[in-house]
Amino acid sequence: MQAPGRGLVVVALLVAAGCGDDPPGAPDAAPSCPGEAPPAPPGLDPAIEARVDALLARMTLADELSQLHGSGLAAVDGLWVTPDVDALGVPGFHMTDGPRGVTAGPSTAFPVAMARGAAFDRALEEAIGEAIALEAAAHGADVILAPCINVLRHPAWGRAQETYGEDSYLLGELGAAFVAGAQRHVIATAKHFAANSIEDTRFDVDVTLDERALREVYLPHFEKVVKQARVGAVMTAYNSVNGAYTSENPVLLRQILKDEWGFAGFVMSDWVFGTHSAAVAVAAGLDVEMPAELAFGELRAEAERCELSAAQLDDAVRRVLRTKLAFGLDAPRAVDPAVIESEAHAALALRAARRSMVLLRNEGGALPLPADAGLDVVVVGGLSGVANLGDVGSSAVTPSRAVTPVAGIAARYGADRVTHLPTDVLDDAALAQLAAADAAVVVVGLTADDEGENIPGRPGGDRETLALSPAHEALIAAVAAASPRVIVVVEGGSAVTMSAWVDDVEAVVVAWYPGQEGGTALAELLAGDVNPSGRLPLSIPVDEADLPPFDHTSLAVTYDLWHGYRWLDRVQIEPRFPFGFGLSYGDVTYEAIAIADDTLGAGDVVEVTVTIGSVDRIGDEVVQLYVEPPPGAAERAVRELRGFARVALTPAGTATARFEVPVASLARWDADADRWVVDPGSYVVRAGSSSRSLPLAATFAVAAE
Ligand code: GLC
């Protein structure tokens, strides 16, 4: 991606780097520079390693170096490629984005990751990971540049839509699910490692974090995706962390990711401006420069000057070869083009849209709005007639078709019952139509012009405010003054503050960027065919000032333990709509919680059972489990999400959710001891329907280590 004023540098780099060709006849063995070999990751497949050894033994230095960078600044048929070594049968990579579908050509446009975060549904996310991977493979790719699992530290972050929300546990669970599904067919890429939560300054900002904030908030989800899902690739971020660019940060890449976590795959840079050195970066743990040989043009010379040990160079090449062989890139791949935009994937996108939309307000039974009662509905707003799919940056997906809000509503309610006012400015005639109709559905929110990847020359980037535009707030006010029943639908990839108007309307639905089937899902939810079950993966404050400040201009920022619900709980500020919140049609009762064994050690697992009953609910409830640590040696979050389960309910039925919480996952990082510590004492487990509605509680004791 191009940053301002750097194009010339890129051209200069390409010219200076040349192509790494060797003078004729020069010996081309890798230099035998001394240096300790990095520890081998655990759990390797000996057969794969033997094949890697055999390839390395036959590779020239040019062959080895060719494996450590992309082939060029331009994608080839929509794919980012890396060199192969034809003589040895080593293929290059073929990479494509992104988190909401395949960018290389027409593909199914799923709801954005933030929407799927609201679904709180591991099985759904695994299915979407597999579907996107199938379409990626059908487009010729073997690497998908997803999932993005960066923390939504502040809702104004321009790329909020690409991640699953503000909570590390939710990010890790859904990121691991995506990878599990995707890696049945291609190599997945956990990105952007790490602490990438600002867009406007992303290329240059230095994020300072102490060890606790890094370990407890900004890394655990990456660790889970590495250890639990065994992701094949990790993409570094553009920013630096504690003074070192992430692409040349030995603490992040070598010490934590590779040595401590045992990551066995390869680390790639982010595009074009993600690298700042060659031997220094490889020694720190970067393996592949994308999308071209830029800074790595110096690698041969630096390696020959032993600025990099043979073992470090070998480790980088070994990781690339290991991943290629482990995922079968050297074998013929049977792909089925029919999977691209298949009916099954459209149905999955519809399922995701149904489960991700969040009902925030429903006064006076405004919803469901019966579709077969002859009601007249006005659908209003400039966004009501467009397919608002999200960012147009690297995560953009172009489906062949998409259902707009008004198309979905007209199909469900009958075109003769729906009046469409595709405008944000209403004249008297429009106001009269609103007054005469039974209900109004107002579609407002954000578009790629308001938020998205920071691409020079394009709007987007971080948001200056969390509020809707003045035009959208004025539209809501006008409709509220004219219509007897107002349902506001908010599209976008992140939180929108609503205090200025929310109490003046009957119902509010957050639809996110709902994907190609969003209009159908919205109509089904409004009509009551589908019971809303989405829950907020982020906090919506009363006022933006209630959140920690969002600095998207400085080039030096500090992150700590506090953001989102962790912050609001700490400072005891009531959010307008809390993390985990969402309404449904019909009520449930939280009836009982039980812990199998309430005296445990640090190596044990807490087994919790929660029983809920349906009063008159048909549909799913997302049962949430939060744990409150004992007062201890260090300040900690009041409570943290440590479990969620989507359970199906029938009227007057009951459902049981079972959770297993490893006590070790409740540890805090002790910077003095430089290790995780499980505080002894009494822990409280709470269960409920949001971070602020936790009617059930139980306690367990952890013995001193
Ligand atoms: C961009 C993004 C990254 C994306 C890559 C390739 O700069 O930061 O998420 O995968 O380029 O498009």
In the numeric block, which tokens belong to residue 75?
């994608």
Q: Does the beta carbon of 193 sit less than 6 angstroms from any atom of ligand 1?
A: no
Q: Contact at 8 Å (CB) between 598 and 699?
A: yes
The percent of residues above 70 in pLDDT, for the chain, comes to: 96
Tens of pLDDT along 551-607?
Answer: 999 999 999 999 999 999 999 999 999 999 999 999 999 999 999 998 999 999 999
What is the CA(97)–ligand 1 centre distance, in A? 7
Kindly report the pTM of this predicted structure.
0.96
Give yes or no for residue 9 having a pLDDT over 60: no
Give yes or no for residue 56 having a pLDDT over 60: yes
CA gap 690, 260 in Å, rounded: 34
Beta strands in 343-498 (DSSP E): 358-362, 377-380, 418-421, 439-445, 486-491
CA nearest 526: which of 502, 508, 540? 508
Q: Contact at 8 Å (CB) between 138 and 187?
A: no
Q: Which is the catalytic residue, given 270, 287, 569, 620?
A: 270
Q: Does the beta carbon of 96 sit less than 6 angstroms from any atom of ligand 1?
A: no
Sheet bearing 377-380, strands edge to edge: 358-362, 507-510, 486-491, 439-445, 377-380, 418-421
Q: Please compute Rg for the chain using Cα positions.
A: 26
What is the CA(271)–ligand 1 centre distance, in A? 6
Q: Which of 79, 162, 186, 270 to mutate to test the pocket of ligand 1 (most atoms within 8 A of CB)?
A: 270
Long-range contacts of residues 424-430, Cβ cutoff 8 Å, at least 24 apart = 424/381, 424/382, 424/471, 424/472, 424/474, 424/475, 425/471, 425/475, 426/380, 426/475, 426/478, 426/479, 426/482, 430/380
Q: Which atom of ligand 1 is nearest to the CA of 95?
A: 6
567: amino acid identity, one letter: W
Which residues, other chains included, contact 18 with Cβ-Cβ below 8 Å and sequence gap of 6+?
297
Closest C-alpha residue for ligand 1 atom 12: 394
Q: Does the beta carbon of 185 sit less than 6 angstroms from any atom of ligand 1?
A: no
Q: Does the beta carbon of 391 sit less than 6 angstroms from any atom of ligand 1?
A: no
Give yes or no for residue 26 having a pLDDT over 60: no
Instruction: Please state the rounded mean pLDDT for residues 188-211.
Output: 98
Q: What is the mean pLDDT of the chain?
A: 95
Q: Does the beta carbon of 191 sit less than 6 angstroms from any atom of ligand 1?
A: yes
Tens of pLDDT along 431-473?
Answer: 999 999 999 999 999 999 999 999 888 888 999 999 999 999 9
Give yes or no for residue 13 having a pLDDT over 50: no
Closest C-alpha residue for ligand 1 atom 11: 271
**209: confidence class by pLDDT, cuts 50, 70, 90:** very high
User: CA torsion 241→244→246→251, rounded to 10°?
Assistant: -90
What is the CA(191)–ligand 1 centre distance, in A? 9
In terms of C-beta density within 10 A (0-12 exposed, 13-18 middle, 19 or more buried), how is residue 592 classed? middle
C-alpha 124: how far from chain center:
14
What is the CA(496)–ligand 1 centre distance, in A? 25
Whether 270 sits among the annotated catalytic residues: the reply is yes
Q: Which atom of ligand 1 is nearest to the CA of 273?
A: 7
Give yes or no for residue 401 having a pLDDT over 80: yes
User: CA torsion 47→51→57→60, rounded to 10°?
Assistant: -150
In the numeric block, which tokens belong to residue 461?
């980037």
Give yes or no for residue 4 having a pLDDT over 80: no
Q: Does the beta carbon of 298 sit less than 6 angstroms from any atom of ligand 1?
A: no
Kindly state the DSSP code that residue 92 receives in the 8-state scheme. P
Q: Which atom of ligand 1 is nearest to the CA of 146?
A: 10
Residue 639's beta-bridge partner residues?
A: none
What is the CA(404)–ligand 1 centre distance, in A? 28
Q: Does the beta carbon of 97 sit less than 6 angstroms from any atom of ligand 1?
A: yes
Q: Does the beta carbon of 689 sit less than 6 angstroms from any atom of ligand 1?
A: no
Give CA separation, 438 vs 375, 376, 409, 585, in Å: 6, 5, 14, 20
Residue 700's beta-bridge partner residues?
A: 683
pLDDT at residue 656 in the model: 95
CA gap 626, 578 in Å, rounded: 14
Tens of pLDDT along 335-359?
Answer: 899 999 999 999 999 999 999 999 9
Q: Does the beta carbon of 145 sit less than 6 angstroms from any atom of ligand 1?
A: yes
**178: confidence class by pLDDT, cuts 50, 70, 90:** very high
Q: Which of 82, 103, 144, 145 to mutate to test the pocket of ligand 1 (most atoms within 8 A of CB)?
A: 145
Kindly state the DSSP code that residue 112 receives in the 8-state scheme. P
Give yes or no for residue 7 having a pLDDT over 60: no
Q: Which atom of ligand 1 is nearest to the CA of 192?
A: 9
Q: Which atom of ligand 1 is nearest to the CA of 191?
A: 9
Tokens 């060659």 correspond to what residue?
278
Instruction: Please state the rounded mean pLDDT for residues 663-674.
Output: 96
Q: Does the beta carbon of 496 sit less than 6 angstroms from any atom of ligand 1?
A: no
CA nearest 20: which of 286, 301, 420, 256? 301
Q: Which atom of ligand 1 is nearest to the CA of 238?
A: 8
Q: Please, what is the Cα angle at 477 between 472 and 482, to 5 degrees? A: 125
* DSSP H or E stretch at residue 472: helix 470-482
Q: Does the beta carbon of 1 sit less than 6 angstroms from any atom of ligand 1?
A: yes
557: amino acid identity, one letter: V
What is the CA(500)–ligand 1 centre distance, in A? 36
pLDDT at residue 12 in the model: 38
Q: Contact at 8 Å (CB) between 265 and 232?
A: yes
